[in-house]
Every structure is written in structure tokens, then in C-alpha cells.
Structure 1
Amino acid sequence: MNHKEAMRSATKVYNGLLWHLREAYKGTGKVDLSRKNLNRILKELPRAKDYYSMSVQLTREEVREAYKAFFALRKEGKTAHQAPGFRRKGYLSPLRYVQSGFKVEGNRVTISLGTNRRDGIRQVSFRIAHRPGVRYERVRQLSIVYDKLSGRLEARLTVEVRANPRPGEGRVALDLGETVLMAAAAFDDGSVHLYSGRKIKAVRRYWQKVRANLKRGSRRWREVAHRERLQVIHLLHQAASHFLRECAKRGVGEVVVGDLSGLREGLDYGEVLNQRLHAWPYCKLVEILRYKGALMGIKVHEVEERKTSLTCHACGKASPSNRKHRGLYTCSCGWKAQADVNGALNIYERAFQVSPVKGSSGRVARPVVRSFHLGWHGVHEPKRKGSLLRAS
């Protein structure tokens, strides 16, 4: 596989640049990260001729950014961080192409491997698959990467896509969670949608049990992890697509999501809950909502959501005891609503400085619940300990 050899050459070049910089640092106590100096080193590395010249320059930039990040941390006093490390022998480094070195014709891609290769092979062609119904005008960037979980090479394209016009001026807020994946509150017609996360919980729980009987990092362990990831992402896509279609039908042009980036930092919820929170794909869901929304002309952005789930939307009193069993939120002021919906209403008010409901909870007490299924493949119990049946 000639593209794999080119990726191994990229690893050699990355490590070669690091080695020369480390040696210079040992001798002088300084590191010259100028492109002029790095280009000088590149001329001494024979493997730099084994893949496309522009990709070699992007490998150079990887090394520069790694060292710049290291020195920035040192400047902040974070001396525990070590200098950039070598990539292991045989590691398949990404091959990156920016605006040149590749050609896309329909579903066929041709990439350049360089003109000075010793084996004389200058290019490789392959087919790609992409989501139907999306027309792109220009491919800006292409990367060939190795996916450790699946054991496959993947082509990742960054493309220019003409977005659809904005569906309308409506706004809606989302509260993200675990059992309730998304609580969408405050559509203009007063309706509320809850998107269940129970199927994702079941999928993750099942595959975690299967992995417990396998050697971590083994081929089978990686296959299981890859299958779990595919199933979870499939369910996230289903939920996000349905929600955004509902937004388009209702003329929603802006979606605000509670920012959970600080939820898992500096807090200890116990071993079991910590593991569940760290495994939950909040960032992936927001990423999917962002790009799908952009294609539909819907803006998706985040707002700080601290204490929105504990605060009464009617009176503003924050009390953990207001969250009752089965997701019910009740307050002494008389406000009563599904707990995740209460959080979404608070996110809406924080983002837009206006309350989406007045007076009583109205229709928010009886939200529409959406649930999704894998359909195209499922999970099955293993026949015996340590073995796994393939999903149908």
C-alpha cells in the first residue's frame, strides 16, 4: 500500500525534525523554530522526498505548533508538561493536502505521493462515499488518516458548501442530558420536544460489558469499540436531523445549546457517574448540530448553562431539592415542569434576555417525546465469555 508507505515516511520526517531540535536544545538550551531552520533540516532527511512536498511542509508545521504549545505551557509555569515526543515506529501519520496535490472527480479522488519517490509511484486513486443530497462547490483540504479503532484509512475532505437560506427568525433552546438527550423548549407554537437518550445508554452499557471480557487494545477490543462508536453516532445523527427538520418547519433560524464544557472539570460525582459523564458524547452532538444546522441556514451556538437545571424558571429561586423523581421539577411558587424543559427555558432566557413562556407552564408540562432506534444493526449477547456475535 503505497499511501501507507508515504504515511510512514511522514512519521520519519516528524521524528527527524524533533530529533534535530532536541539535539540543538541539549547543546545550546535554545530551539530555533523558524521555517528557514526547519527547511534546512528537511533537506537532510531522505524520507522527505517520499511524499508530496506540500504535505512535508504541513508536517513541518505540526512540529512547530507542538513545540510552540510546549513553550507556552512552560511560560505559564506548567513545567510538568514534557517536550513533544516521538511517534512510534510504523505509526501512520496523516497526509494533509491544502488546495493542491489532489484531484476530486465525482466520487474518485487522486492524491499525489511526490515526484521523487524511489519506487516511482507518483499518485494513488481511490473512491469515496459522502452523504447524498449535499452539493459542494470546492474541496479546500483533504487528509488521509488512520483510524485506530476501525483499523482503516479514511479520507476526510473539507469542502465549501452553499448553505440554504435561513428558515425564519424563530429561536429555540436546547438542554442536553443523558436520559433525555435533548430537551427542546420554547418553539413559537408553545410545543416542547424531548429526545430520548435511553437507546444510547443501552448501546454503551452493552458494549462496555462485552469489552470487560476482552483484552484492552486487542484487535477484537478495537472492533467492539468501533462498532459502539458507529451505533452511537448513528443515533446522534438521527436525533439531530429530526430536531433540525422540526426547526426548519417552524421557521427557527437560531438554536442555543447549553455549554457543558466545564461540567466534567473539577467536580467529583462518584466513580460510576464520573465514568458515564466522561463517556457521554456531548461535544459530538453539538458538532453534528452545528454542521447540519449550517447546511440548513440555522445558526447553532452555545451559552453558559451553570445552575440552569436547578433554577426555577418562574421565580428564579435555585434549589437542588426542586428536582423531583423521574425528571419532575416543582417549586414552592407553584411552577411545575419536566426538569430538562425547565433547564432549557432558563437557557433560552439567559441567551435571549426574554422568557419564552408567561404565567403557568402550559404545554411544557406535556412535551412530545421522540425516541430512535438503530434499525440497520443492533446488539446481541455473546455466546460465551470472551466471544462476541457480530451484529446483523
Structure 2
Amino acid sequence: MPLITLKAQIHADPQTEAVLKDAMFCATKVYNGLLWHLWKEHKETGRVDISRKNLNRILKELPRAKGYYSMSVQLTRDEVREAYKSFFALKRKGLTRHEAPGFRRKNCLSPLKYVQSGFRVDGERVTLSLGTSREDGVRQVSFRISHRPDIEYERVRELSIIYDKVSGRIEARLVVEVKARENKGTGRAAVDLGENILMAAVFDDGMVMLYSGKLIKAIRRYWQKVRANLKQNSRRWKQIAHREKKQVEHLLHMATSHFIAECVRRGVKEIAIGDLNGIRESIDYGDQLNQRLHVWPYRKLIDMLKYKGVLAGILVRDDINEGSTSITCHACGKVMASNRRHRGLYACSCGWKAQADINGALNIYERAYQVSPVKGSSGRVARPAVVSYHLGWHGVAEPKRRDKTLCASA
């Protein structure tokens, strides 16, 4: 049964919220405590032992480990192990610029994670176990949650309590089993993700669609300029960051919802997307462009496509090697960066001409399905349908009045 992650707001009284924050603070102390002991061992012995046996021994010396559920403590332990495993993997590749896992800030509220046990969800009511050894004697807490009403799920597999730094609220993330809608389609599509062109989509009949990303760029650029004149992490700075995040997410939801609906209408059963893992390490287009691409919401966009695809009975794959797809001629296979011309034009000496992002999407389609969606010997594709959208009441401009109520709701 398909799994999706459901975001939910927590509605709790001040006492319950204080207990949750204390438990999250304990998770931070445990995480930092494990790192400190490993650092100390490395200093004394020259090696780091991240075995579960050694980490469990360290846990017994950490008093804060009694501040939250025992299985959640083990998940914090596993976070430390995974962080060190990633560090060791980078070291083996010779990427020495990466440093060992660092401490979390003392006032950081780490996630409380529950897998299979330690929690109960009854409709809108959630009950969490906090163990039996807390100093204040609180063994469990209960609170109400609210989430989007159109999601029907069978069972909650995992639950996490997180602190959203932007909104300043405690929220819940539920990994739930959902019933996928019946999809009798047999069609296929491929998507190339970009910046100016948010999504270039190619369907198996040669039809293509372009989703503009220019408005997202404009929103991010505007709010970044506004934040540049403010003290970082100040209250006003966080309010603006939250406003930017909501506006960008609004546009991403509009684009992905429209695209998935179009896929359903066209009988698409599977969507292929390029594998973007490691893209931040591999790109080098200069400091300014690198910074823009590093913060571009590729992963959020893919996650939206995946969970909306699940609800529509569409499989979304993001494991396709997209190396050189943007500079490879779809007609003759020649790889030449200079073929990518101005204004998004891809033109090859063999006579093939196409919008550059469409050319990339066609290559992803061919790699994913071992066949080209282009019909006929002419190598032509259908004229692209360009999809644009606006924010409506979500204005880009900053409010003129410094109204605290307006800022808080932005």
C-alpha cells in the first residue's frame, strides 16, 4: 500500500506544548552527548566506534535519555550513526573538505520520532508515550491535530514531532498508508526540472508542456532583497522568510496539481524524473548561479509530484540518470554544450531544433523507457503548451503598514 507523508498542525494547551518542547530539548542533549563522547574517544584512541553496542553504552551515561520515549532515543542514536556513515563515505571518496558531524545548537528542538509503537492516533486525537522515567512524572501527552481533509488513510506507520523554525510552531509529520485511486491508464511521461522552466513535461504521444518558474524566481529574489536589510533570524526576518516559503509552496502546489490532473486526463500511469541526488556537489556555474540553484526547491517539487501521483494511482520515478541530457541531441545523440543556444534554444548540426528543456525531457524519456516519444521520421514534437500562473491574493509586495496582526498572519 502506498505511503505518503502528511503534514499536520498541533493544537495543544500550553502545559502539553511545554512538555513536548522539553522532550525535544532532551533529544538535542542526547544527540550532542553522543557526539561529544565519540569525539572524546577519537581524541584518546584515534578511532570512532559507532556500533550500536558502543552507542548504547554511552546512552546509559546520558541522564537526558530518560526524558523521552526509549524507542525514540534509539532513533536519535541511529541519526548519529547515519551522520557518521555519510561522513565516512565522503572521506572514502576523497572529499576531505567535509567535516565530521557537528553539535546542534543548545536551544535547538530536535524531532521526536515514533515508528510503529509509542503513539496512538484516534481520528484527530494523538497520544504520545514519553517513557516512565521523566523527572516530572509525565508519562504521556495527548493533543489534537488538523491536516488537509481530502486525504483518507488506512494506518499511521510513523509519526514525528518537529519544530518549524520559520513559523515558530510545533508540527506533526505522519507517514500514512493510503488507498491509491484506480488508474487504468497505460501512458508514460517524463519531466525535466529547471529554473526558468520549472517543469518541461513530455508525453508518449509527443505532446509537451512547459511550466514557467520565473514567478518563483521573482518572489525569491524580492524577499531576499528585503531580508538583506534585516538582522538575520530576527522576528521580522523570520516573518518574511515564512511569507516567502508560503508563496513558493503555493505556486509549486498549483503547478504540480495541474500537471498530475493533466496526466490523469491523458491516461498516464508512470512519470520519470531525473535523479537529482548530488546535484549540489556537481554543479559549478559561478558563485551567484550556484547559490540560486542550491536553494531551488527541487526536492520539494519532486515530493509533491510523488504524493500527488500516489493519490492518483501514478508511479513517479526519480531514479533516471540525467547526466548530459541537457546538452545531448535527442535526434543524433551528439553531446555538445555549445548546441544549447540563447533563449533556451537547442540546435544541432544534424538539423534538430527544440526548446532546450524539451530536448532534456525527451532524453530522460528515452533513457527511462528505452524508446523515443517522438513520432515520425521528421523528429518533430508537438508545439509546447506553456502553462503560467499568478499568486492572486498572495501579493508579492511587502505590506506598507507595519501592522503586527498582518505580519503574524502573513
1:126 to 143, 146, 157: 143
Counterpart-to-counterpart distance in 1, 2:52 and 2:355:
57
User: Cα–Cα, structure 1 residues 47 and 260, in superposed 2: closer, same or farther, change >3 Å?
Assistant: closer
**Which residues in structure 2 correspond to 1:135-284 (within 5 Å)?**
135-188=152-205, 190-261=206-277, 263-284=279-300
How many residues were matched structurally? 389
After superposition, the Cα gap between the structure-2 partners of 1:332 and 1:18, relative to the gap in structure 1 and judged at 3 Å, is: closer
Displacement after TM superposition at 1:224 (Å): 1.7
Paired letter, 2:225: K
Q: In the alignment, is the contact (CA less than 8 A) between 1:256 and 1:351 conserved in 2? A: yes
The CA deviation at 1:184 is 1.2
Paired letter, 2:372: S
1:301 corresponds to: 317
Question: TM-score, length-normalised on structure 2?
Answer: 0.84
Cα deviation, 1:277-303, whole Å, max 9, x if unaligned, reads 222222221222122212322122232
How far off is 1:253 after superposition?
1.0
Residue 146 of structure 2 aligns to a residue whose secondary structure is coil
Partner of 1:360: 378
Whether 1:369 and 2:386 are equivalent positions in the alignment is yes
Runs of 5+ consecutive residues of structure 1 not aligned to the other structure? none
In structure 1, distance between residues paired with 2:92 and 2:340: 45
- Matched position secondary structure for 1:235: helix
Partner of 2:3: none
Separation in structure 1 between the aligned mates of residue 39 and residue 355 of structure 2, nearest angstrom: 58
Q: Which SS does the other structure have where 1:128 is aligned? A: strand
Aligned to 1:342: 359
From the superposition, tell whether residues 47 and 175 of structure 1 become closer, same or farther in structure 2 (CA, over 3 Å). closer
8 Å contact 1:193–1:368 — kept in the other structure?
yes
- The residue type paired with residue 135 of structure 1 is E
Tell me: CA distance 1:75–1:208, structure 2 relative to 1, closer, same or farther (3 Å).
Answer: closer
- Which gives a bigger RCO, structure 1 or 2 (Cα 8 Å, sep 6+)? 2
Alpha-carbon deviation of 1:68?
Answer: 4.2
**2: CA distance between counterparts of 1:318 and 1:82?**
36
Q: Percent identity?
A: 69
After the TM superposition, which of the residue ranges 370-379 and 153-162 deviates more from structure 2? 370-379
- Encode CA deviations 1:174-224: one digit per residue, 9 max, x unaligned: 122222211112343x43211111221121111111111112222222222
Once residues 256 and 16 of structure 1 are traced to their aligned partners in structure 2, the CA distance between those partners, rounded to angstroms, is: 43
List per-residue Cα deviations over 1:75-113 (Å, max 9, x = no partner). Answer: 666565544333332321211111111111112212122
Q: 1:19 to 1:252 in 2, by over 3 A?
A: same
Q: Does 1:114 align with 2:131?
A: yes
Distance in structure 2 (CA, Å) of the matches to 1:73 and 1:332? 41
- Can you give the 5+ residue segments of structure 2 that lack an aligned partner in the other structure? 1-17
User: Which shifted more, 70-79 or 59-68?
Assistant: 70-79
- For the pair 1:105 / 2:110, whether they are aligned, the reply is no
Cα distance in 2 for partners of 1:367, 1:92 equals: 47
**Structure 1: how far apart are the matches of 2:279 and 2:48?**
38
Q: Distance in 1 between matches of 2:289 and 2:63?
A: 51
Q: Distance in 2 between matches of 1:135 and 1:367?
A: 35
Using the TM superposition, give the Cα deviation of residue 261 of structure 1 relative to its aligned residue in structure 2, in angstroms.
4.2
2:217 match: secondary structure? helix
Task: Give 1:87's aligned residue.
Answer: 104
- For 2:77 and 2:349, locate their aligned partners in 1 and report how far apart those are by CA, in whole Å: 62
Structure 2 CA distance for aligned equivalents of residues 26 and 308 of structure 1: 47
Matched, 1:47 2:64: yes
Change (3 A) 1:313 1:78: closer
